[in-house]
Structure 1
């Protein structure tokens, strides 16, 4: 095999060569079978289409010749014209049968043609020398003279005709036997071709099985065993590629070994990464414990701020207010101013502490999420802000949905947003506050817009930072924590918030809230308007 370079052939090339050789052999056998079948068909056609009709025509020819002799003899005896009819019809039939046989003859049927010519010549000679003179004798001399002539006729002439007809039939039978022998031989050859084709197919199948076993099954079983050892954890085991004869499997084994090497390399990296992740997890766990401790400290601080710090602050504020009420006007103006500063500072400190506590409690002190109808929430907000809104303010909302959340926190959210719109109104312009909602895939986009003084684009991010103020303290009241509380409430509910800076006037704040599972978008035609 190495002499022809077969050992370097791929499995596909070997199978292709085997199939090509088998195909060529089967093609040759197919041609032989086609020739054999054609020969058998030709022989059968000769027997059925030529020999059979010729034998029938030969028998009918013999009958027609006998009818001629019988008719002539009967006419010689009886002298009646009716007795001559078999002769006349026999002549016509004989000529027709001879013509039929001639039509069936082929150029190679020389013996049959020669025998037919002999029969035709002898029959014509008999009619000329025997039959026609006898008929003339009956017509001219009478039956007695005709009978005497019949007795004098030599029957050997007609016997020669009979012998010639028998020879013709014998030649036709020989043609039939020859054609039958050819058909039998062709059938035998066809069977031999079929047996040879079966042997070729069988041998090809055996060789193919041997090739698959030696070049595929055994090597793959051996390779699978090595792969199982690698899969069991022996990633350092080298895959043997020298025991595979087919270049395909050699390449496959080399690919598997490269994959093993890659897996081993990546596994080493994964182990190193796992160690690093474990170290990071330990650090995160330490930080989580530190955060837990810090949260406990913050909770303790909140408790102290809400109880221990507010109590002395309330006392300071109370006594400062007592001083202001009792000694107002009794001291000089500077003393009254100092006392006012002290009262205002104590009150602002108290508001800051309360707002800070409220900010820190968002998400820590929870009552659990429920289905909250924002229409009801806005109705409550409108009622709470009715005194601040005054008679000229207009607050409307439309299409607001039912969401999942904590109703007190959502109420605080809208109180801060609507309250800011009322606070930062334009002088001598009635405030108009519009709240709308629209669905965008799996979230609600809610917009609170007013016609107030608005917010500059450069402060779009700053407004949501805790204790950030954009105006002087004496211009607008408040601690600057309202929008920070709003942002924390929105994020606690899984949403996001931003400032729309592309409005011509006023402020426009957008925020999102998740859609309830299975919720439908409310009909935009159902708009509820409330004027405060």
Structure 2
């Protein structure tokens, strides 16, 4: 049942007056759009300036690495090659051994390679061609006028050219190399200055953009606090008071148009909730009355079940007792059909008694958790196996109980659970094969799984769910006795302890039933009476 709440005339007039005042203000959408546009413009300017700075820095570094540094390295190799030539000539002239001439020859090759490298550089970035021409001319003149004649004279064993002439020519060559190196050093210094200027421009641009952005963010933060956060905080405080139980507290909206509208919507919702609350309170009163009536009905049904079971068992015991007396006293004195009728009557009365007892046990499960305690499944399983000792001995079977964990539960119900599962393992055995029942358990992360396995006839997968339904039987009573309540009772006990039960299919013969128990920190809720 739902109701609608219409705003009063006063609230309508107030809303119209507030709307007229709000038209003079910018809505939040426009404020956010303008702020976003300003921030976007500043970010765009910052990106452009940063891009220009990065391009300049990249070009300066590229020029430094691709042109200036290789040129300076080639100039150093050229200077070393010239010195090696002079050293080789001097050593050969003094010693006269050909191996002393190797530095000279290697120096000539190195000089030409360094000169070729320098000439391969861009003229616009490294103006070294004029200096290189002078160096090559001076080197050629030194070799022609002094080095080669001196080498020839040393080989012939005659007097070579004047050493003073060779020294003057080499000094001029070395001076040219010095001029070349000085020009290369100046170019390297200029390249470093360009890199530094580019880095400075980039840093200045980013600092400026960051400062402007911080200023804008500060202005936006103050504006948001005054236009958005403060009205929202006031609205939230009013809403919290309503949530705490003050449903009569009005929730007015202040601030921008959207927040004022939100306050009006919350106020309408509050009024709607008040109307719904009245309906819910009326419904809850009706539910309380029905719950009390249901509780009285449950108590009456429970009392009826106990009385009915007691009243049913009493005549059944008489019928069973007198039929057994007839069977013992007049057995063999009547014809075979009379003996058969008496046997049918005794068996029916006994089955009726077992059925009533099982139904009573089924109805008692889940009434209360007051009997819950820490229960050792090993002790419970051992006790359940001891109760089935007569059946085990008659079938020449075996019950193997392994070490089992501890769970929180009702000891009597857990014993009844294990007795049903172990008893089924003994009862549903294969013809001519002694039954063997294994009881094992594991614990992982606090959850306990108990497994009861046998080597009997097994359970087909299509019947895995059917066997846990009350009164569902897969075999005739003359094949396997029972009331059809055992596994349904086991399922109810497992679920009462907060766990579950299922059939686990294996590779070998027999069946495995697994029962899970939750961690001992949890306890099932007590079922209603």
The TM-score with structure 2 as length reference comes to 0.51
> Which deviations, in whole Å up to 9, do the C-alpha atoms of 1:12-66 show, x marking residues without a partner?
97xx99xx9xxxxxxxxxxxxxxxxxxxxxxxxxxxxxxxxxxxxxxxxxxxxxx
Which of 426, 439, 442 is the equivalent residue of 1:438?
Answer: 442
Which of 416, 419, 439 is the equivalent residue of 2:423?
Answer: 419
Does residue 449 of the first structure (1) align with residue 453 of the second (2)? yes
Does residue 312 of the first structure (1) align with residue 315 of the second (2)? yes
> Which deviations, in whole Å up to 9, do the C-alpha atoms of 1:406-440 show, x marking residues without a partner?
11111111000000000001112222222222223
Q: Where does residue 358 of structure 1 map in the other structure? A: 361
Is the Cα–Cα contact under 8 Å of residues 235 and 264 in structure 1 kept in the other structure? Answer: no
Which of 479, 500, 503 is the equivalent residue of 1:499?
Answer: 503
Q: Call closer, same or farther: CA 1:399–1:274 in 2, change over 3 Å.
A: farther
Q: Call closer, same or farther: CA 1:300–1:214 in 2, change over 3 Å.
A: closer
Paired with 2:373 and 2:252, the residues of 1 have a C-alpha distance of 62
SS at match of 2:315: helix
Structure 1: runs of 5 or more not aligned? 1-6, 21-204, 242-252, 519-532
Query: How far 1:348 moved relative to its partner?
Result: 0.9
Select the structure of larger CA radius of gyration. 1
Which of 453, 459, 463 is the equivalent residue of 2:463?
Answer: 459
Is the Cα–Cα contact under 8 Å of residues 232 and 259 in structure 2 kept in the other structure? Answer: no
Is the Cα–Cα contact under 8 Å of residues 460 and 501 in structure 1 kept in the other structure? Answer: no
Query: How far 1:461 moved relative to its partner?
Result: 1.2
Does residue 340 of the first structure (1) align with residue 343 of the second (2)? yes
Paired with 1:309 and 1:387, the residues of 2 have a C-alpha distance of 29
Q: Map residues 462-501 of structure 1 onto 2, 5 A cutoff.
A: 462-501=466-505
Q: Map residues 261-340 of structure 1 onto 2, 5 A cutoff.
A: 261-264=264-267, 266-267=269-270, 270-271=273-274, 274=277, 277-278=280-281, 281-340=284-343
Paired with 1:278 and 1:237, the residues of 2 have a C-alpha distance of 23
Is the Cα–Cα contact under 8 Å of residues 493 and 513 in structure 1 kept in the other structure? Answer: yes
RMSD: 4.0
Is the Cα–Cα contact under 8 Å of residues 254 and 263 in structure 2 kept in the other structure? Answer: no
Q: Call closer, same or farther: CA 1:284–1:226 in 2, change over 3 Å.
A: closer
Is the Cα–Cα contact under 8 Å of residues 500 and 515 in structure 2 kept in the other structure? Answer: yes
Which of 369, 383, 386 is the equivalent residue of 2:386?
Answer: 383
Which of 397, 402, 417 is the equivalent residue of 2:401?
Answer: 397
Q: Call closer, same or farther: CA 1:258–1:317 in 2, change over 3 Å.
A: same
Paired with 1:223 and 1:472, the residues of 2 have a C-alpha distance of 74
Is the Cα–Cα contact under 8 Å of residues 305 and 353 in structure 1 kept in the other structure? Answer: no
Is the Cα–Cα contact under 8 Å of residues 235 and 260 in structure 1 kept in the other structure? Answer: no
Does residue 257 of the first structure (1) align with residue 260 of the second (2)? yes
Q: Call closer, same or farther: CA 1:421–1:352 in 2, change over 3 Å.
A: same
Paired with 2:345 and 2:284, the residues of 1 have a C-alpha distance of 51
